[in-house]
């Protein structure tokens, strides 16, 4: 770096100009003379640095305009931009500016903020007030969307809250139960189970897209820009390759992600937390939002911070994007209010139930039991291995019914298994077929349980022939279950 010394006149103070390498004396002198002619050096003391801020404190209009532009920042925020720009303002003005920059995102209308702004030159105060106005605008826009007159499009109920895994912890000003309600709202809005993926909805119960998974560290950086941004590839085709996964949290493939509900829950909560941090840094005073509006902002920011900022500031957005953001905010606000007013502490897991003793009148209960046991119409209970009070022919009839049930399930399973992959792709029925096959396994197990009861009775009746038939049928059911489970694994791989 080169240094040149100049003075305003022969008897004036000497100024040192630090210039980039390669700058000539004449070039540096031209810059110095221009600064001197505008009056920007007036009042500058030895040791002071010349900057837009020091010029602005002296009323130089071009410097104030430069500072105002810097203060506007990304999304209209002055916090952070003002922190750096105003830190060198001398004396009391520096304190006033620092107070504004520090408190802008932490408390609109906080005592002293306007008084501090008034201590600045009018052009700088205008930049600060512009930032306050933008922050107020985002508050009003978000609160309006969350408390809108329209009914929620995906209102949660008690079953939704009950089946939602409790949140890992609070997020910002949202309590654990409020985060849990927000998660339930997000899941209900998506309408997809954890082990499903599709190009239209996304991955899992929260419908993660590529950008979300990349932001969460699950996909390698650049995956979206390289493979998904052009529209040439689909989300499902890209996620089939294990090479795009980072291995974070043990997720090395799409199967790992789809097969773990806890991991999906963790990713969603991380995205919500990071999203709120991001929009707060860009100017949204999230600590001033109601919990309902905060929940909606967290869910929207978890999807896209840029879209959330534009939405909060009322900027132009595609109609479908704006509608989705509004619906998410409204649904989340409803969910938080629902959890507060309709869900008790036990379901929220906030308070454990107290143990209760001596709540049954044993005298009344014992008397009622004796009347039942002593009733001649009720056969006595036999605890030894006496043969059942049924004939072997009746057992055979029961066995025949069980076999018919097995055959019916097998017929349905064969129809589903015989469907080709091309037909499934055309009908988009991979998820439905997997669900059907899983239900067939449940039906098989139900019949097997019935056969197990018949087997016990056949053994007590010493009917060896029937015992052999039942055991053979149970082996057939076990083999059918094994084949069905293998088919489900193949379908899940194709679906991925």
CB atoms < 10 A from the CB of 281, how many?
Answer: 16
Q: CB neighbours of 482 closer than 8 A, spacing ≥ 6? A: none
Tell me, what's the pLDDT at 61? 40
CA 181/CA 348 separation, integer angstroms: 10
| Structure tokens given for 47 | 């040791």
CA 342/CA 339 separation, integer angstroms: 6
Is the four-CA dihedral 57, 58, 59, 61 of positive or negative sign? negative
CA 395/CA 461 separation, integer angstroms: 10
Mark out the alpha helices in 165-318 (DSSP H runs).
Answer: 176-190, 210-215, 223, 235-239, 254-258, 261-281, 291-303, 305-312
Residue-wise pLDDT for 126-161, tens only, equals: 444 545 555 666 777 787 777 765 678 888 888 888
In the DSSP assignment, the letter for residue 74 is G
| Structure tokens given for 6 | 């100049």
Tell me, what's the pLDDT at 183? 95
Tell me, what's the pLDDT at 1? 56
The β-bridge relationship of strands 14-19 and 197-198 is unpaired
Residue-wise pLDDT for 35-93, tens only, equals: 666 555 555 555 555 544 444 444 444 443 333 333 333 333 333 333 433 333 334 44
Q: Locate tokens 């139960």: which residue?
A: 177
Residue-wise pLDDT for 290-337, tens only, equals: 888 899 999 999 999 999 988 888 888 999 999 999 899 899 989 998
CA 25/CA 4 separation, integer angstroms: 7
CB atoms < 10 A from the CB of 63, how many?
Answer: 23
Mark out the alpha helices in 147-260 (DSSP H runs).
Answer: 158-163, 176-190, 210-215, 223, 235-239, 254-258
Burial of 80 (0-12, 13-18, 19+ CB in 10 A): middle
- State how far the alpha carbon of 330 is from the alpha carbons of 143, 149, 305, in Å: 10, 9, 18
Q: CB neighbours of 179 closer than 8 A, spacing ≥ 6? A: 167, 169, 170, 171, 269, 272, 295
Tell me, what's the pLDDT at 34? 65
CA 110/CA 391 separation, integer angstroms: 87
CA 86/CA 98 separation, integer angstroms: 7
Name all domains of the chain by residue range, CATH numbers in brackets: 2-146 (no CATH), 158-348 (no CATH), 373-495 (1.20.58)
CB atoms < 10 A from the CB of 55, how many?
Answer: 23
Report helix, strand or coil for 172: coil
CA 474/CA 164 separation, integer angstroms: 37
CA 141/CA 293 separation, integer angstroms: 10
Q: Are 78 and 127 in contact (CB under 8 A)?
A: yes
Enumerate residue ranges in the chain where pLDDT < 70: 1-2, 8-13, 19-23, 34-137, 148-150, 346, 348-358, 370-392, 496
Residues facing 411 on adjacent strands: none
- State how far the alpha carbon of 203 is from the alpha carbons of 45, 347, 371, 399, in Å: 62, 28, 59, 45
């Amino acid at each position: 770096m080169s240094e040149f010394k100049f003075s305003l006149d022969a008897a004036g103070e000497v100024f040192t100009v630090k210039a980039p390498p390669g700058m000539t004396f004449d070039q540096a002198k031209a810059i110095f003379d221009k600064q001197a002619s505008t009056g920007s050096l007036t009042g500058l003391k030895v040791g002071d640095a010349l900057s837009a801020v020091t010029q602005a404190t002296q009323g130089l209009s071009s410097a104030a305009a430069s500072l105002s532009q810097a203060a506007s920042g990304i999304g209209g925020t002055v916090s952070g931009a003002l922190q750096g720009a105003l830190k060198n303002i001398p004396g009391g003005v520096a304190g006033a500016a620092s107070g504004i920059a520090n408190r802008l995102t932490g408390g609109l209308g906080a005592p002293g903020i306007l008084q501090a702004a008034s201590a600045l030159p009018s052009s700088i105060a205008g930049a600060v007030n512009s930032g306050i106005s933008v922050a107020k605008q985002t508050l009003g826009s978000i609160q309006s969307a969350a408390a809108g007159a329209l009914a929620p499009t995906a209102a949660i109920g008690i079953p939704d809250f009950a089946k939602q895994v409790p949140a890992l912890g609070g997020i910002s000003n949202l309590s654990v139960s409020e985060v849990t309600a927000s998660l339930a709202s997000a899941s209900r809005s998506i309408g997809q189970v954890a082990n499903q993926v599709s190009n239209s909805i996304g991955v899992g119960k929260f419908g993660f897209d590529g950008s979300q998974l990349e932001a969460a560290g699950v996909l390698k950086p650049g995956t979206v820009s390289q493979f998904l941004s052009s529209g040439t590839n689909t989300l499902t085709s890209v996620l089939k390759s294990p090479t795009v996964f980072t291995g974070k949290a043990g997720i090395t493939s799409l199967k790992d992600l789809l097969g773990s509900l806890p991991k999906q829950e963790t990713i969603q909560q991380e995205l919500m937390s990071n999203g709120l941090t991001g929009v707060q840094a860009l100017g949204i005073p999230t600590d001033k939002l109601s919990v309902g509006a905060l929940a909606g902002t967290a869910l929207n920011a978890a999807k896209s911070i840029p879209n959330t900022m534009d939405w909060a500031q009322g900027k132009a957005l595609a109609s479908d994007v704006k509608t989705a953001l509004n619906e998410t905010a409204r649904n989340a606000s409803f969910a938080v209010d629902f959890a507060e007013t309709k869900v008790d502490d036990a379901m929220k897991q906030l308070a454990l139930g107290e143990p209760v003793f001596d709540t049954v009148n044993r005298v009344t209960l014992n008397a009622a039991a004796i009347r039942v046991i002593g009733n001649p119409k009720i056969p006595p209970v036999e605890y030894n291995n006496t043969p059942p009070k049924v004939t072997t022919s009746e057992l055979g009839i029961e066995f025949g019914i069980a076999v018919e049930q097995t055959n019916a399930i097998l017929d349905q399973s064969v129809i589903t298994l015989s469907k080709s992959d091309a037909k499934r792709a055309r009908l988009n029925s991979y998820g439905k077929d997997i669900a059907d096959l899983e239900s067939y396994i449940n039906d098989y197990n139900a019949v097997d349980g019935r056969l197990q009861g018949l087997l016990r009775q056949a053994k007590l009746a010493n009917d060896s022939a029937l015992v052999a038939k039942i055991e053979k049928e149970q082996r057939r059911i076990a083999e059918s279950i094994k084949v069905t489970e293998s088919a489900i694994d193949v379908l899940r791989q194709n679906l991925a």
